[in-house]
Structure 1
Amino acid sequence: MKRHFTIVSLVLATAVAGCQPEGLTEAEKATVASLSLSALPPLPPDPSNRYADQPRAAAFGATLFFEQRLSRDGSVACATCHLIDRQFQDDKPRSVGLAMTNRRSMPLAGVARTPFLFWDGRRDSLWAQALTPMEDPREHGGTRAFYAHVVKDTLRDRYEHVFGPLPDLSGVPVSAGPLGSEAEKAAWAAMSDGQRADVDQVFVNLGKAIAAFERNIVHEPTRFDRFADANRAGRQPEGDAALTDEEIYGLRLFIGRANCVTCHNGPRFTDDHFHNTGVPPVAGLPDDTGREAGARQVLADPFNCLGRYSDARPEECRELRFMVKDSPEQVRAFKTPSLRGASARPPYMHSGQFGSLKEVVEHYVQAPKSVSGHSELAPLKLSDREVSALIGFLGTLSQ
């Protein structure tokens, strides 16, 4: 009887072990380890922003991030579309500031590590990205001169504590800028070169302070990270470090046959590149060619890494200098989003085309052709159980 009990126990132990990290192949173990937040290298500096890692700049940037006075009617802040309790994103298919935009907001955790910003990569730094919504009539809707006066009237002490004395704005119109109304653009054109340069510098400094704050928004470890770290250390995952059989099955699909890790790789689960995956357009919206248009815009942006307001030396602007400028693969290509926290923040894709992760996975299984350009997808053969397991694994990146 005792020998029979020992044999049964051994069989059960072996079966359980097969579902644990020890059952992963060496190649799988290496891939899983590479996806853990523990494998994330230190945050690199931003040579284009000399204030990027100054605590007082970050503190001022936090104020600006939540400041509704930095909008035309005082109702919109960065935090309007980047909610602190929603992983600095919102729950809308398309974000709404002063009006509805054409795309979904992107989460901000870890955003300081990406070389190009927005779904189409039309900006190449956090500070340049922060400036863009401020002049968009559908988002903050203000002008550069307007924001300079807001600083002068309400935030002068905080601003000067970081950036030094404000320039003389006494002769600057209350609202003027190159992207405002016809009257505001005319007022901008009538300003002297020195006045425009002064206003631009104040405007740029607001972006650099916001960027300093956003560099501190990071991903928090989840069950997957605890599982991955235990796996790497050769420990048996226990408690909230253990994954269920279904989650491990989904993980194996993710890094294996489903090919998800091809684009969603590294500790942030993104390659930071742009891909055409055949996502359908949204009826009623202008044609969105993604990176094809974004590449042109980042090169023309006066606030890019090579511009006069960048603190970087030209040789430090490698991403911008050597980026792919014109390629058929860029047509309808959009940035690979991080999958960390994704299961908790539907809808999905650049304009909220899919309402659930099941719809997303089914899109990748079917791999429809793109309406223009060429989709990189090839059809996948996944059973209903495999789709469910894959979604189950993605949940471990949110808790």
Structure 2
Amino acid sequence: MKKQTTAIVLGLAVMAAPLGAEMPRPEGLAALGDVPVPGSNPQTDAKVELGKILFFDPILSGNYNMPCSACHLPDAGWAIQAPISFGYPGTTHWRNSQTIVNSGHYKKLFWAGASGSLEHQARSAARGGVAGNGEDDMMESRLAFVPEYRERFADVFGDDWPNIRHAYDAIAAFERSINQTDTPFDLYMNGDDAALSEQQVRGLELFAGKANCISCHNGPLLSDEKYYNTGVPPYSGWEDDEIAQITFRFEIFAKGATEEMYREIKDDPGLYFRTKEKADKGKFRTPSLRYTKYTYPYMHNGMIETLADVVDFYNDGGGLNDFADNKSAQIRPLNLSDGEKADLVAFLESLSGDEILIDEPDIPDMQPLPAVAN
């Protein structure tokens, strides 16, 4: 009789298959399906096309310089390959830019779940103090000066003049069209045993077993969308980058921290800004592991450079930050061997397929202003 072992992890059964047996497919993981679409903003080809143009057009930003694509570059994982995202010229952001790939599957957006929909996220980004820095009435007025937008908004939404809320609806529709459901992992979970290499299958078993990544990275999105403090160290730029320091202090002040926190804190409080609960300091939402091959560096502040570094970080039991008292209990040393770490990295790479690249659209011109007679 062939030997077979079972590891039980948080109620999730992981079978180590004997030679010739069915390949292991852990409970708690699944292939990604179609993106959910809210009834209030149905997808149409014309709406997606309008959203695509607006995504690349700097017209929806305060100084006419920061389109969505400035921080979500297609050739940089639909994010940016730098620790901290960009601000408008003369500023910087204070958190890592997250990819829009598969973002329509999230129930909440941003690192601390501040937006409940892509529509709301688009508006928040366009109006953000160090990102878009735009005002709705100003951006809406600009749209009205573009004949092509007047025509497209009338066709898609029936607007007499472009409605700024409909602009965010269109951008959200475009973002919901950027998905990847044919990764090696998805093909494997849908029954293709050959889609993963032997090393990746070993990594999958570690992911759901000894390494216990599945306790937080589960479901089709590979995220439980809950919040944890994993001990990620503070952003290093706050030590010597004056502009980053100014942005950080502005965000601390704007989000309602106490005076003591404003004067003394040197790390990102994360979820605390939304709940004002001390137990939430340093907690951030579990990100999806999909498309991570292209979205380096990692974590909310980009302080971990490669997937191998991420595995090392968790193998060591996470790190230490200014909110060590809140470090989540799940984060503890994994005792993985070098070979096991390599297997786990190989599996993580199977969660990304081919790079998603598109041709950028032509940006329409504003109509010329009428000449003024002397």
Normalised by the size of structure 2, how large is the TM-score?
A: 0.74
Q: Within 5 A, what are the aligned runs for 1:289-300?
A: 289-293=269-273, 295-296=274-275
In the alignment, does 2:216 pair up with 1:266? Answer: no
CA shift in 2, pair 1:247/1:51, >3 Å: closer
1:64 — aligned with what?
Answer: 54
- Compare the two structures and name the one with the higher helix fraction: 1
What SS does the aligned partner of 1:254 have?
helix
Task: Give 4+ residue runs of structure 1 displaced > 6 Å after superposition.
Answer: 17-21
Q: Alpha-carbon deviation of 1:369?
A: 4.1
Identical counterparts, % of pairs:
31
Q: Within 5 A, what are the aligned runs for 1:110-129?
A: 110-129=102-121
Q: Structure 2 CA distance, aligned partners of 1:108 and 1:21?
A: 40
Q: Structure 2 CA distance, aligned partners of 1:225 and 1:19?
A: 23
In the alignment, does 2:25 pair up with 1:29? Answer: yes
CA shift in 2, pair 1:343/1:213, >3 Å: closer
In the alignment, does 2:317 pair up with 1:363? Answer: no
Q: Within 5 A, what are the aligned runs for 1:1-399?
A: 22=21, 24=23, 28-31=24-27, 34-37=29-32, 40=33, 42-47=34-39, 50-98=40-88, 99-154=91-146, 155-166=149-160, 202-230=163-191, 237-238=193-194, 241-244=195-198, 246-283=199-236, 284=238, 285=245, 286=248, 287-293=267-273, 295-296=274-275, 327-367=277-317, 368-372=319-323, 373-376=325-328, 377-399=331-353
1:270-302 superposed Cα distances (whole Å, 9 cap, x missing partner): 112221111111141533211121x35xxxxxx
- Report how many residues are paired: 303
Q: Structure 1 CA distance, aligned partners of 2:191 and 2:134?
A: 50
C-alpha RMSD over aligned residues: 2.5
Q: Structure 2 CA distance, aligned partners of 1:52 and 1:288?
A: 36
Checking the alignment, whether the CA contact within 8 Å between 1:61 and 1:206 is kept in structure 2 is yes
> If you compute each CA radius of gyration, which structure gives the higher value, 1 or 2?
1
Q: Structure 1 CA distance, aligned partners of 2:123 and 2:170?
A: 11
Checking the alignment, whether the CA contact within 8 Å between 2:96 and 2:300 is kept in structure 1 is yes
1:7-36 superposed Cα distances (whole Å, 9 cap, x missing partner): xxxxxxxxxx97878365xxx43428x332
Q: List alignment gaps of at least 5 residues for structure 2.
A: 1-15, 239-244, 249-266, 354-374
Checking the alignment, whether the CA contact within 8 Å between 2:86 and 2:131 is kept in structure 1 is yes
Checking the alignment, whether the CA contact within 8 Å between 1:95 and 1:103 is kept in structure 2 is yes
Matched residue type, 1:93: P
CA shift in 2, pair 1:333/1:89, >3 Å: same
Q: Structure 1 CA distance, aligned partners of 2:26 and 2:82?
A: 37
CA shift in 2, pair 1:18/1:127, >3 Å: closer
Q: Alpha-carbon deviation of 1:253?
A: 0.6
Q: Alpha-carbon deviation of 1:161?
A: 2.2
1:34-87 superposed Cα distances (whole Å, 9 cap, x missing partner): 3323xx3x433425xx23424332222111111122223433211121122333
